[in-house]
């Protein structure tokens, strides 16, 4: 069982928490829950998200369940250092979209005594490690992997299966673009997509 860390003003050092998983697994929901607990404890908080994520709101961090918190959109991870102020708890959503400076930035924050909570996709639409997520998970004190339910078999889903044939790694979308799948159903779907691609090539050829 995951024991949620408790941060207080007299802590000698901060720490890093990573919440990861597929789409529709509740990553942002869990980030919001932890931040809300810090708010109840009257701790000073800041929340950041990448500016490219405008699916639900340009400013707010919003979960699929429509729960939300006001955040600060930033173009790059170093902006976080400039805008964190005197916060003792920092939340970062959609961490997979940030640049390669993010591991260094959150390490600086944790070394200042700040509790840093990040959420993000650990794998992309091909099932490969996404962005800086592997590095973030390695340097974190706490890693929580959450899961969705496979839409095909109702099993435990850890993959985000892309429903269209785009090969762009970053493609923002919701249920019309992605669905959660378990390993077996994800692999089956990828085989089917590859078969369709090959047929199209044959027809065009």
Which is the catalytic residue, given 94, 126, 141, 168? 94
User: Is there a catalytic annotation at residue 79?
Assistant: no
Quick one: tokens of 15? Answer: 């720490």
Quick one: tokens of 29? Answer: 């929901």
DSSP H or E stretch at residue 118: strand 115-121
Dihedral angle sign, alpha carbons of residues 114, 68, 72, 44: negative
d(CA 31, CA 39): 12
Q: Which residues contact 41 (CB under 8 A, 6 or more apart)?
A: none
Show which residues are catalytic: 94
């Amino acid at each position: 069982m995951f024991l949620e860390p408790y941060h207080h003003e007299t802590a000698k050092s901060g720490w890093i928490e990573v919440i990861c998983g597929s789409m529709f697994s509740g990553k942002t929901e869990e980030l919001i829950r932890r931040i809300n607990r810090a708010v109840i404890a009257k701790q000073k908080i800041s929340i950041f998200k990448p500016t490219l994520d405008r699916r639900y709101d340009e400013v707010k961090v919003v979960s699929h369940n429509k729960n939300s918190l006001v955040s600060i959109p930033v173009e790059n991870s170093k902006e976080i250092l400039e805008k964190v102020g005197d916060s003792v708890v920092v939340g970062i959503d959609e961490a997979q979209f940030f640049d390669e400076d993010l591991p260094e930035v959150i390490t600086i924050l944790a070394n200042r005594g700040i509790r840093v909570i990040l959420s993000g996709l650990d794998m992309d639409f091909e099932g490969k490690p996404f962005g800086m997520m592997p590095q973030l998970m390695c340097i974190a004190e706490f890693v929580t992997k959450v899961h969705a339910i496979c839409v095909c078999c109702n099993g435990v889903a850890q993959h985000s299966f892309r429903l269209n044939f785009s090969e762009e790694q970053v493609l923002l979308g919701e249920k019309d673009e992605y669905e959660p799948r378990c390993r077996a159903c994800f692999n089956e779907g990828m085989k089917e997509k590859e078969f369709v691609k090959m047929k199209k090539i044959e027809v065009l050829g």
